[in-house]
Amino acid sequence: MALSDDRRAKRNVVILIAAQALLGSQITMIFVIGGLAGQMLAPNPCLATLPISLIVFGTMTTAPWLSRVMQARGRVTGFITGSLGGFAGALIGAYALSIGNFWVLLIGSYMTGMYMAAQGFYRFAAVDTASEDYRAKAISYVMAGGLLSALIGPQLTKFTNDLMAVPFMGTYLVAAAINLVGIALFPLLDLPKPVATAVKEAGRSTWEMLTTPRITVAVICAMVSYALMNLVMTSTPLAVVGCGFTEANAADIVSAHVIAMFAPSFFTGHLINRFGVERIIGIGIFTLGLAGVFALSGVELFNFFGALILLGIGWNFGFIGATTMLAGAHTAAERGRIQGTNDGIVYACVTLASLSSGGLMNCAGGSVETGWIAVNLAMVPFLVLAGGALIWLVRR
């Protein structure tokens, strides 16, 4: 029976990898140019990264209700809804640039967050038909699709940045087209039918689940891994360009970072099965700390590349490990509530990290270097929180 389930799961994983690679490339594109476009239009430099923050805020506010849509109507409906949001967001972003309106750009960014929320559920869809032995691998392989998006997105950004008279407008239009093409993948998925409402209500309450130690720690570690990754990555293009390097350098660094985020996914699942999910999360938290140390050691291209690569690896181990821990701690009937709640909490913290990133980078000191130092020092208390929570769980 497990073999049959895994054959079905592997087919779904292939489709989800394709979706992650194609549709996910728009996120790397918009994250590279979002801060730069914001800096070009913002009335105050402290607001430069607000477009990126609105993407994450859109994800935070969309994830809970989108998860419930998937519980009631199925994953495919939710994924298509997210892609339509991404399509609308990219078109609005292009329009905002054409009229030079920062506030319209924020509306488009919020809509893009709807796509990002849907993409976050690809990893959960991967385990809907997977056996327990294949669960961690399925999550890892789908996340590995982001490696292709890391290669596609920044290269498309380089090609489309100056494609039109208005800088970055071409990038947003290409992102809109990507959404329309990617929608065709989702009807190919073979996923379970939605769980009936009566069955769904039979599970634990959301509060009961959140206060279960294993779920609590999974949420904390996912939250810290994703928020710290976003905190540093959001400021990176501004720091790179502010230190005298080019936008192409910034795109290459972000590309290296996203590759580091997803390349380990080819073996993260195997490592979790062999060494245990707690150890892999712990390595991820430690690697995030190393990224901060590397960033604080200088502002040369070597430092930026090294810090962002370590940041990506740390996110991979921490976030995939936390996702695997959560996926094994609830029933199918509880899935819609706890997965949506988890992603809502995670992206709420990522939103705060993104907002803080711009403020720390542009307003925490008198230079780019001091702003960059402030961004990286801000990681410390959250690393302590995640590490402490993980140690507490292991000692239990």
**pLDDT exceeds 80 at position 4:** no
**Tens of pLDDT, residues 212-243:** 999 999 999 999 999 999 899 888 988 998 89
- Per-residue pLDDT of 18-50, as tens digits, reads 999 999 999 888 887 887 888 889 888 778 778
Specify the residue for token string 């993260």. 268
pLDDT level of residue 135 (50, 70, 90 thresholds)? confident
Cβ density class 98-136: b for 16+ within 10 Å, e for less: eeeebebbbbbbbbbbbbbbbbbbbbbbbbbbbeeebbb
pLDDT value, residue 67: 86
pLDDT for res 3: 43
- For residue 329, name the pLDDT band (cuts at 50, 70, 90): confident
Question: Which domains does the chain possess?
Answer: 2-395 (1.20.1250.20)
195 pLDDT band, cuts 50/70/90, is low
Phi, psi of 131 (to 5 degrees): -75, 165
pTM for the structure as a whole: 0.76
CA distances from 232 to 70, 182, 184 (A): 32, 29, 34
Residue 99: pLDDT above 90? yes
List of residues 6+ apart from 344 with CB closer than 8 A: 60, 61, 63, 64
Q: How far is CA 74 from CA 5, 120, 254, in A?
A: 18, 15, 34
Mean pLDDT in the chain? 88
Q: Which pLDDT band, with edges at 50, 70 and 90, does 167 fall under? A: confident
Q: How many CB atoms lie within 10 A of CB 393?
A: 18
H helices of the chain, in order, are 2-41, 50-73, 75-99, 102-120, 122-125, 132-160, 169-182, 197-200, 206-210, 213-242, 247-262, 265-275, 277-296, 301-327, 335-363, 368-377, 380-395
Judge whether residue 364 has pLDDT over 80: no
Which pLDDT belongs to residue 188? 94
Query: Which has more confidence, 83 or 329?
Result: 83
Q: For residue 175, give both structure tokens.
A: 């992102």
CA-only gyration radius of the chain, Å: 20
